[in-house]
Amino acid sequence: MKLSVNHAVRRRATGAVLAALLLGGGVVGCSKGAGDQSPALTPAAAVAKAAKRTEDITSLRYRMTGTVPGEGRVSGEAAMSMKPLAMSMKMTAEDQATDGPVEIRLVGKAMYIGGGLKAAKEMDGKSWIKFDMSALGADKELNTDQLGGGQADRNPATESTFLTGSKNVKKVGSETVAGVRTTHYRGTVTLDDFRKSLKGQDKATREKREKALDQYTKMGVRTLTMDMWIDGADHTKQFRMRGTADKGPLDMTVTFLDYNKPVTVTAPPAKDTVDLAGMMKGVQQG
């Protein structure tokens, strides 16, 4: 088994993790409520009400498509549970030479990345790489920043609240999204304005949203154009985020399939898995 090959697989898979987890960051809860929102709600109030709903999300399932800075076009589908934390997603990097979707599973304090058949041929038939958070020094808290993800340890609904910092939210119209009647809203928001809008929030909410905001600051994004499609039950059915980062354009659309339903994620078979921590230990001893 070649360490250089594993690094290549890890690099390719980590790109998919970043795309999936970063832009799963646009996720907000969906519901099966029908009909447009109450006409009595102003656009700003409608967006604020939908943002408030994100605080109660315990699990969700969604699909995504778009462009990630530095990675190109991506698409995928994911399911996530917040408590206990668990995740399963399949991502395809359409502009990269891969042998198919990359699958990511988060189980307990371990993240598993499946590199596909090509990776298996280069890793003695093993198609999964295991990143054990405890063995990699993240036993106090799940810290996927070590893998380039940086999003798996928090509710991915948070980024949807950015639109509450916009000063020009407007109603675009009524549209049907994935069979659900919605009201479409759009606005632009600078990251500075959103940060200022957090002053009136409670400490826990403010810290969570500031943490989400920091990743976009690090990307070099200063202004976002955001769209939200909100259903009759005041949940967001679809979300789009556009902006310019240091490494290129950001443009992701996330459509929500369900939420607050049981999510079960299992680890891949041990016989198909390479333990990165064990491998690194062997290299150091060697």
Residue 119's pLDDT band (cuts 50, 70, 90): low
- The 10s digit of each residue's pLDDT in 195-211 is 888 888 888 888 878 88
Compute the distance between CA of residue 171 and CA of residue 215 in angstroms, rounded to an integer: 28
- The 10s digit of each residue's pLDDT in 73-112 is 989 899 988 888 888 988 888 877 666 788 899 998 888 9
Compute the distance between CA of residue 212 and CA of residue 215 in angstroms, rounded to an integer: 6
Q: Which residue carries 């380039």 as its tokens?
A: 148
Domain edges within the chain? 3-281
Compute the distance between CA of residue 158 and CA of residue 26 in angstroms, rounded to an integer: 7
Contacts of 196 (CB under 8 A, 6+ apart): 165
Give the model's pLDDT for residue 129: 87
- Apex CA 255: angle with CA 254 and CA 259, to 5°? 110
Give the model's pLDDT for residue 142: 45
Average pLDDT, the chain: 77
Give the model's pLDDT for residue 14: 46
Q: How many residues does the chain have?
A: 286
- The 10s digit of each residue's pLDDT in 224-280 is 999 999 999 898 899 899 999 999 999 989 898 988 899 999 999 988 888 877 666
Compute the distance between CA of residue 250 and CA of residue 240 in angstroms, rounded to an integer: 10
Predicted confidence (pLDDT) at residue 194 exceeds the cutoff of 50: yes
Give the model's pLDDT for residue 147: 41
Q: Which CATH class is domain 3-281?
A: mainly beta
β-pairing verdict for 102-107 and 110-114: antiparallel
- Apex CA 89: angle with CA 85 and CA 90, to 5°? 165
Give the model's pLDDT for residue 57: 84
